[in-house]
Structure 1
Amino acid sequence: MKKTLKIVLYLIIGAAVGLLVSSTARSIGGDVSTDRFYMWVSIITAIVAALFIILGVFQYRRVLSVAKDYLKYMDEDSYDKYRYNKHNEIQIYSIIGFVLSLVSLAIPLITYYNLPVILFSSTVYIMSLIFLIKTTRLVSKLYPERNLPQPSDKNYTDKLLLASDEGERHIMTTALYKTFSLTQVGIFVGILILIAYSMLTGESQIFSIIVLGLLMIVSNMKYYSEIKEK
């Protein structure tokens, strides 16, 4: 799983760097065919998204099959670990598939118009959206003995923490803080890249920079207002 995620991360970084180089070259007078490049980025991204959705659906069906009679496959302790890890894997598959499919659809809608590519990307996007919705209900199917809240419930975070034991709360809060820190670094690097892109190409990215800056401010304000002494 980790190896697969690393490969996908490298592909995404490579595509982003290639897109930046292609756009920059075109803006300064190069002969790079950005429309063709955009088209292939969109197609490849949609294919990768579809693969993640297929892998996710396979794991989804597998874990539900095991859950029906897990004693046929493993003991109770092993099953607790198995369903916990599989649930997280499936969530990763669904999120990656959804985001990549959205990016794949956005590229032809913004940069060029190619009906077959748009139809293909739209199909993958709809599939990823349906699968993402299904995965939000997976936790209640894997833990029917626990009164876990649904993501659509009001005050979902508070209810989830109350339904979790001390060990689970520690894991979740640690993971959330690491994610928060990584997100802040990512937004900051994104702002720097957009500034560099604007300076190199002459194409202003002020709106995107402002949006990312506001997101960084709001997320920090939310975090520190939540953890301050009340």
Structure 2
Amino acid sequence: MFRKYILPIIIAILAAIMLLSIDYWKLPLTDILTSTPYIVVLCILAVLFAIIAFIYSKLAYKVDNDPSLEHYEQDRASFKKFSEMNIAIIISFYFALGSILLISINDAPLYLGIISIIVLIIAILMRYYGYSMINKLYPERDLPDNFEADFDDKLIDSLSKEEMYTIFTGLYNAFKITNILLPAAMMLITIYGYATGVPQHFALSVIAAVAIIINIVYQITVRKMI
């Protein structure tokens, strides 16, 4: 029971530490976030994680066709690699998106903007490539194509009860941690705004709106299904 309070306690401690040490980190952090090298690092990390995702996709396909494993072992091992591939794809996409957004508000060179656009395109292509992997790993199943308009609905319809339980457990855990991290993000943005003297009203309003919409959608969806 105590475990669910660990993350909020850690966040509260970190917030207190940030407030007490605000004079030591506010200027260096601002310099880093507005620097060109920071954007370059984000681009490099985005490409690196895209490569890692591609490697994991090949590993997933390899273990899925490993004759030394039983069928259920192949499925289990390939899905783990598929999941790790998706993690790398998500990280790559948000690093790439972050780099191009920072370029739009920072005084960055033109060549870096072009590089960021290329990196973002690579990350987007990797996302579609990752979606297509599910059909390669499970060719015997009637799974939808990733370009179909109702891909999500068809994918859910094709799942077994055990698979649906596993996926929905992961989604619910993500939902719970979202309700912790979004208020924490608001607190962090408020501290940063206080430290730099730059008002963060818009950012706080957007995050609050996102949190409200997520929870409303969740409650409405659950109400319809009961």
Normalising to structure 1: TM-score of the pair? Answer: 0.78
Q: 1:64 aligns with which of 61, 65, 71?
A: 61
SS in 2 for 1:137: helix
Cross-structure match for 1:90: 85
Q: Does 1:170 align with 2:165?
A: yes
Cross-structure match for 1:121: 116
Q: Compute the displacement of 1:157 (Å).
A: 4.1
| Letter matched to residue 220 of structure 2 | S
Distance in 2 (CA, whole Å) between partners of 1:23 and 1:152 is: 46
SS in 2 for 1:164: coil
Alignment of 1:1-230 (within 5 A): 24-25=26-27, 34=31, 38-65=35-62, 67=64, 69-71=65-67, 73-228=68-223, 230=226
Distance in 2 (CA, whole Å) between partners of 1:108 and 1:98 is: 16
| Letter matched to residue 114 of structure 1 | P
Structure 1, unpaired ranges of 5+: 1-16, 27-31
Distance in 1 (CA, whole Å) between partners of 2:153 and 2:167 is: 12
Structure 2, unpaired ranges of 5+: 1-17
Percent identity of paired positions between Structure 1 and Structure 2: 22
Normalising to structure 2: TM-score of the pair? Answer: 0.79
Contact 1:191 1:212 in 2 (8 A): yes
Distance in 1 (CA, whole Å) between partners of 2:106 and 2:200 is: 15
Quote the RMSD (CA, aligned, Å). 2.8
Cross-structure match for 2:12: none
CA change 1:36–1:106 in 2 (3 A) is closer
May I ask how many residue pairs the two structures share in their alignment?
A: 206
Q: Deviations over 1:146-186 (max 9, x none)?
A: 11234554554443333111211111111101101111211
Distance in 2 (CA, whole Å) between partners of 1:156 and 1:134 is: 15
Contact 2:63 2:77 in 1 (8 A): no
Distance in 2 (CA, whole Å) between partners of 1:124 and 1:21 is: 35
Contact 1:94 1:131 in 2 (8 A): yes
